[in-house]
Amino acid sequence: DVGSKKELIERLAAQTVRKIKGKGKIPGNEEKRNKRGRDLDEYLGNL
């Protein structure tokens, strides 16, 4: 299914971006970053 494949790729891309952003850890920003990640997952899940 092309749609689910596209969604999977976008999800993987989002996870990768999140991991890269997570490299320079700033205390206190962890929760914000996690929330943004969850919001992004929900957004991608609702496409």
Q: What is the pLDDT of residues 1-47, one digit of tens each?
A: 677 888 888 888 887 776 666 655 555 556 666 677 777 777 777 76
Is 22 a domain residue? no
What pLDDT shows up at residue 27? Answer: 57
Q: What is the pLDDT of residue 32?
A: 66
Give a yes or no: residue 21 inside a domain: no
Is the residue at 46 inside a domain? yes
For 3, the domain range is: 1-8+28-47
Domain count, the chain: 1
Q: Would you state the pLDDT for residue 26?
A: 55
In a domain, 17, yes or no: no
pLDDT for the residue 6: 86
What CA–CA distance (Å, rounded) separates 29 from 8?
26
CA angle 39, 11, 46 (to 5 degrees): 55
